[in-house]
Structure 1
Amino acid sequence: MGKVVLVTGAARQLGGRFVRRIQRDPEVERVIAVDANTPPHRLGSAEFVRTDIRQSAIARVLAEYAVDTVVHLAVTGGGGAGGAGSAVKETNVIGTMQLLGACQKSPTVRRLVVKSSTSVYGAAPRDPAVFSETTQPKSLPALGFAKDAVEVEGYVRGFARRRPDVAVCVLRFANILGPFADSALAEYFSMPVMPTVLGYDPRLQFVHEDDVLDVLRLAAGEPRRGTLNSGTFNIAGDGVLLLSQCSRRLGRPTIALPLPALTWVGSALKAVGVTDFSPEQTRLLTHGRVVETSQMREVLGFKPMYTTAETFADFARSRGNGLLPPERAARAVDRVAGALKVDVAVAGTGSGAGSAAEEGAQR
C-alpha cells in the first residue's frame, strides 16, 4: 500500500502545484486535495474534496480516506484589502486548530508537514544579524500573518507533544518568489515605483517556488539515510540582496519616504486594493531579515537549486522591464562616466597649457 497524502490549501497556486508534484512520487498512491474554494487550476489525478478546515468535517475526510500524511499549506498571508483578511486569519488559526484536532484523533496519520514562515522572527531594529531556528525574537509579532504563524507553530508544538508517534516537520520559508509568485511582496516588487523607508536599505532573503515544492515533497516522504524529516527548519536560498539591489535589478525607481509617511501610503494602497501593504511588510522593508540554513542542509538534507539572487532574477524576468531597465541604466551610467572622463582630460590639458604659459612668461 502506498501513501495517502492530504494537502490543504489546494485552491491556491502553490497548493495546486504541490498537489500535481506529489502525485509523481512513486511512494504515493493517492492524493486528497482540500480547500473551501474550488481550485481554478488542474489537480491532475488528485481527488478534490471541497471542505472548510475550520469545520469539524475535516475529521471525516481523514477517516474516510485513511490519510497517513498531512501537508498543511493553508497557512497564508493572503487576503488583500477589504474584508477577506479576517477569513484568512480564521483559516490560519482556527482552521489549523481543527485540523490538528482531527489529526490527533486519527489512528492512521503518521506524518504532518506544516508550511510556516521566517516572519515568526519578526523584524525589529535590535534583531540579531542572522536568525537560527532556536533564536528568540526580541519582540513577538503583534499583528497580521506573522502573529498567525507564531500561533500556528504553538499549536503544532502542542500536537507534537500529544502525538509523539507522528513525525512533525515545520518549514519556515523565507519570502517565496518565482514566475508564479502571488504574495504581497511580489505585488510590491511589481509596482511601477517602489516606496522605501528613508535611511534604510534592508537585507532580504528569498526562496524559489520550485525549491518550495521540492522541500515539501522531501519533508512529506520517508527520511533518507542520514536525514531526519521532523523538526523545525529555516528554508532560504544562499546569500542576501539589499532592497536597493532589488529595485535596480527590476529597473524600478524608488521613492524614499519617512517611516510615518510610508505607513500612511501603505494604508492608502491597501484601502484601494493596489497591494496588501501591511505593517508587517513595512517592518520587513525597514529592518530586513536573514536566517541561517545549516539545519536545512545537514539535518533535513535539502540543498536549494536557486540562490537568493537567482530566485530574484527568475522573478524579475517574469515581470518584464520596469521604467528604468538595468541595461538602459547601465548605458546611461557609462555615458555619464565617459563624459566626466573627457571633462577631466580637457581640464587637465587646459591647466597644463596655462602652467606652461605662466612658466614661459616667468622666463
Structure 2
Amino acid sequence: MVRDSDADEPITPRSVLVTGASSFLGGYLVARLAANPAIERVVAVDSRIPSKDLMRRMGRAEFLRLDIRRPAIAKAIATYDVDTVVHAAPSIMDGAEHSAAIKELNVVGSMQVCAACQRSPSVKRLILRSTGMVYGASGSDPAMFAEGAPARKEPKSGYGRDLIDVEGYVRGLARRRQDIDVTILRYQSMLGPRIKTRIGSYLSMPVVPAAFGFSPRLQFLHEEDALAAVEHATLNRRPGTFNIAGDGVVSLAQAVSRAGHVRLPVAASMIQPIIGVLRDGALPAMRAGHTGYLIYGRVLDNTRMRTEFAFEPKYTTSQTLDDFVTRGKTSPLISADTWRDLEARALVAATALQ
C-alpha cells in the first residue's frame, strides 16, 4: 500500500528495462509493469529464459536473452530508448551457493549496467534491488540498522560484500550523472508462499539447528510487499537509500515453533557443518555471513521507508511468517491433528487419575 504524497507527483516512465527477469522479483515486476497501460514499453533482460508461466505473465513485455556482463546491455538501452532501469539481477536470494561466477555476475554485471546508463542520454532513473546483508551481522551490532549507520564490522565476502561494491558503483554513477535519479532498496529477509529464499529453506527444515545460548531477532519482508516496493520506486520519483522491511520482530525460537518444527541447539561453530548434513540438498551450505545472521540476527529501521519513500507494507513480520507457514511448502514435523490427539489423551489420562 502506497501513501499519497503532495510533495511528489507520480512519474510514469515511458520505457523501462528490468534486469534479472527470470528471478521472482524481476519477473513479476515485469508482469506488473506490462499490465500498466501508461507505460509505453517494458523490456525484460536475463541470461536465463524465465519459466513458461512467468513468460506468460509478462504479456506484452519484450524479452531479451543477454548477459549483462557484456556490452550488449548498452545496445539494448540505446535501442529501446530506455529512461528507467530497474537493476534486479544481483544474485541475492537464489539457492545457489555464492561462488566466483556469482560474484562476477553481481559485480561485473553491475559495472556494465552503470556504464551503460552513464553513456545513455535517455536514462533518467536507476533503481537497484540491494539487501540488508550489506550491514553484516555481529555481536556488536545496534538494535536496528538505519541507512546512515553501517555495520561495525562490514561483510568481507559473500552476497553482502558483492552488494556493498554494487552500491558503490551506483552511487558513483549518481555523482557523474547528476541528472539520473538513483534509488537503492535494501530488502530485509524475504518470505512468502511462492519465493524461494535461504531463510525460507532454513525454516522449512524439520529439525532446525540453532546456536546454543543465542536468541537472534529476525525481521521479514513479505514477497508481495517486496514487489510493491520496487514497483512504487519505478512509478514514483524517490531517490535515496531505503531499508524495506515489515514491522516487528520474532525470535528464531518463535519462528521455528510457529512453523511446527524442532529447534536443535548446537554450538555456534557447528551450525554450518550441521546444516550441511541435514539440508539434504534443499539448502546450500551456509557461509560465514549467513551463520552470523543465524547467531545474531538483523533488524532494519524502516522509518525512512515511510517518511521519505512513502511506502507502507501490508504485512508485518509476524503476518509474513504466518502466511509463509500457512500457504508455503513447509509442513510441521508434528501435525495439528497429532497435537490435538495427544491433548485429548492427556486429558483422558488426567481425568482417570482424579
TM-score by length of 1: 0.86
- Which residue of 1 is the match for residue 332 of structure 2? 322
- Whether 1:27 and 2:32 are equivalent positions in the alignment is no
- Which residue of 1 is the match for residue 5 of structure 2? none
Match of 2:129 among 115, 138, 158: 115
Distance 1:196 1:163, change over 3 A: same
- Which residue of 1 is the match for residue 283 of structure 2? 275
- Which residue of 1 is the match for residue 153 of structure 2? 139
Q: Could you tell which deviates more after superposition, 179-188 or 95-104?
A: 179-188
- Which residue of 1 is the match for residue 87 of structure 2? 72
In the comparison of the two structures, how many residue pairs are matched? 337
Distance 1:126 1:45, change over 3 A: same
- Whether 1:172 and 2:196 are equivalent positions in the alignment is no
Q: What is the one-letter code of the residue matched to 2:18?
A: V
Deviations 1:19-62 (A, max 9, x none): 10112234311100000111113221110011100011110000
CA positional deviation for 1:15 = 1.4
- Which residue of 2 is the match for residue 53 of structure 1? 68
Distance 1:64 1:242, change over 3 A: same
- Which residue of 2 is the match for residue 353 of structure 1? none
Rounded Cα–Cα distance in structure 1 between residues aligned with 2:88 and 2:319: 24
- Where structure 2 has 5 or more consecutive residues not aligned to the other structure, the ranges are 1-11
Distance 1:156 1:314, change over 3 A: same
Rounded Cα–Cα distance in structure 2 between residues aligned with 1:159 and 1:35: 22
SS in 1 for 2:236: coil
C-alpha contact (below 8 Å) 1:249/1:326 kept by paired residues: no
Deviations 1:124-167 (A, max 9, x none): 00101111111121101011111111111111111111111111
Rounded Cα–Cα distance in structure 1 between residues aligned with 2:348 and 2:300: 41
Q: What is the one-letter code of the residue matched to 2:199?
A: L
C-alpha contact (below 8 Å) 2:193/2:323 kept by paired residues: yes
Q: What is the one-letter code of the residue matched to 1:17?
A: Y
CA positional deviation for 1:12 = 1.4
Rounded Cα–Cα distance in structure 1 between residues aligned with 2:74 and 2:352: 76
Deviations 1:91-123 (A, max 9, x none): 111100000000000000011000001111111
- Which residue of 2 is the match for residue 350 of structure 1? none
CA positional deviation for 1:176 = 0.9
- Whether 1:12 and 2:23 are equivalent positions in the alignment is yes
- Which residue of 2 is the match for residue 309 of structure 1? 318
Percent identity reads: 41
C-alpha contact (below 8 Å) 1:79/1:88 kept by paired residues: no
Rounded Cα–Cα distance in structure 2 between residues aligned with 1:339 and 1:239: 40
Q: What is the one-letter code of the residue matched to 1:133?
A: E
C-alpha contact (below 8 Å) 2:222/2:320 kept by paired residues: yes
Distance 1:300 1:131, change over 3 A: same
Rounded Cα–Cα distance in structure 2 between residues aligned with 1:274 and 1:6: 32
- Whether 1:293 and 2:308 are equivalent positions in the alignment is no
Distance 1:196 1:337, change over 3 A: farther
Match of 1:183 among 197, 212, 218: 197
Match of 1:235 among 231, 236, 244: 244
Rounded Cα–Cα distance in structure 2 between residues aligned with 1:122 and 1:315: 25
Match of 1:265 among 255, 258, 274: 274
- Where structure 1 has 5 or more consecutive residues not aligned to the other structure, the ranges are 224-228, 347-363
Q: More relative contact order in 1 or in 2 (CA 8 Å, sep 6+)? A: 2
Displaced runs of 4+ in structure 1, greater than 3 A?
78-82, 266-270, 325-343
